[in-house]
Amino acid sequence: MKKILVLISGRGSNLAALLEAVDKNEIAGRIVHVISNRADAGGLNFARERGIPTTIIPSKDFNDREAFDMALGDAIAKEQPDLIVLAGFMRILGEKINARFAGKIINIHPALLPSYPGLHTHRRALDDGVKWHGCTVHFVTLKVDIGPIIGQAVVPVLPDDDEGALAARVLESEHRLLVDCVRWFCEDRLTVRDNKVILHDEVGSACAQQHPQG
Ligand code: GRF
């Protein structure tokens, strides 16, 4: 069983999806700790309800990023997790903390990377008139929203979509994709070669990612 630690900043619906999957034994791991950089992150309650330890490290109390990263890194290190999931964690991690947990940090981003890194992805996709949008789970590297891509899920952009409607459709796909990617990680089915992630099937052959199903 892999030890999973989740970092959040807000609502925590992706955390909730992971917790439900763990509850149903869909993931060969358990969530050992949830850390938030905001005391008011609603998602903390999903962990508290299950008696999972939570820690708040308020980023606003730190003058510089390195000091925050150091405190965060120390809190993470105490659990010695196998996997750290950034699930709506709205802080950029610096060089040292990345190096400390290299290859163990994954992030969910609400766009089909490398399109639309950064913020306001749904608004930008609507402005551009793209017909397909979606989400990406990737290993975290030093460059923001760039890193070996583990999985992607695609959703249509519909003619009457506004930002809220599109965000809701993408979010549903995020929940399924994140569970799939965490499951693969916990089953040791991911390897990274030349900056690309290879997904292996049960007998170890490279295989294509199936589109996550609801
Ligand atoms: C998600 O859209 C995630 O991709 C982005 O922030 C949002 C977090 O949502 N990074 P939630 O807190 O998991 O509900």
**Residue 210, in any domain of the structure:** no
Q: Residue 11: CB within 6 Å of ligand 1?
A: yes
C-alpha pair distances (Å), 138 with each of 3, 40, 177, 180:
19, 27, 11, 12
Structure tokens, 95: 């060089």
Q: What is the pLDDT of residue 212?
A: 80
10 Å Cβ neighbour count for 5?
A: 24
pTM of the predicted protein model = 0.97
Domain span at residue 109 reads 2-199
| Arithmetic mean of pLDDT over the chain | 96
Total domains in the fold of the chain: 1
**Residue 152, in any domain of the structure:** yes
**Residue 213, in any domain of the structure:** no
The alpha carbon of 129 and the centre of ligand 1 are apart by a number of angstroms equal to 22
**CATH classification of the domain holding 79:** 3.40.50.170
- CB 98 within 8 Å of CB 24: no
Q: Residue 14: CB within 6 Å of ligand 1?
A: yes
**Residue 214, in any domain of the structure:** no
Q: What is the pLDDT of residue 35?
A: 98
For 104-116, the pLDDT digits (tens) are: 999 999 999 999 9
**Residue 157, in any domain of the structure:** yes
Residue with tokens 């290190």: 77
For 175-203, the pLDDT digits (tens) are: 999 999 999 999 999 999 999 999 999 88
Question: SS3 for 109?
Answer: strand
Q: What is the pLDDT of residue 211?
A: 81
How does residue 9 score in pLDDT terms, banded at 50, 70 and 90?
very high
36 - beta bridge partners? 8, 56
Structure tokens, 113: 């990377």
**Residue 208, in any domain of the structure:** no
Burial class (CB in 10 A: 0-12, 13-18, 19+), 167: middle
CA atoms within 13 A on the CB side of 206: 7
Please compute the mean of the pLDDT values over residues 127-140 and round it to a whole number. Answer: 98
10 Å Cβ neighbour count for 161?
A: 18
The alpha carbon of 202 and the centre of ligand 1 are apart by a number of angstroms equal to 30
For 170-181, the pLDDT digits (tens) are: 999 999 999 999
Structure tokens, 168: 């809701």
Write phi, then psi, for 86 (nearest 5 degrees).
Answer: -90, 105
Q: What is the pLDDT of residue 30?
A: 98
Q: Is pLDDT of 213 > 70?
A: no
- CB 28 within 8 Å of CB 2: yes
Q: What is the pLDDT of residue 24?
A: 98
35, 36, 91, 171, best to mutate for ligand 1 pocket (most atoms within 8 Å of CB) = 171
**Residue 204, in any domain of the structure:** no
Query: Residue 41 CA: which ligand 1 atom is closest?
Result: 12
* 187-190 LR contacts (CB < 8 Å, sep 24+): 187/28, 190/150
How does residue 118 score in pLDDT terms, banded at 50, 70 and 90?
very high
**Residue 167, in any domain of the structure:** yes
How does residue 214 score in pLDDT terms, banded at 50, 70 and 90?
low
For 135-176, the pLDDT digits (tens) are: 999 999 988 878 999 999 999 999 999 999 999 999 999 999
10 Å Cβ neighbour count for 192?
A: 13
Please compute the mean of the pLDDT values over residues 15-44 and round it to a whole number. Answer: 98
Please compute the mean of the pLDDT values over residues 71-83 and round it to a whole number. Answer: 98
The alpha carbon of 94 and the centre of ligand 1 are apart by a number of angstroms equal to 20
Q: What percent of the chain has pLDDT over 70?
A: 99
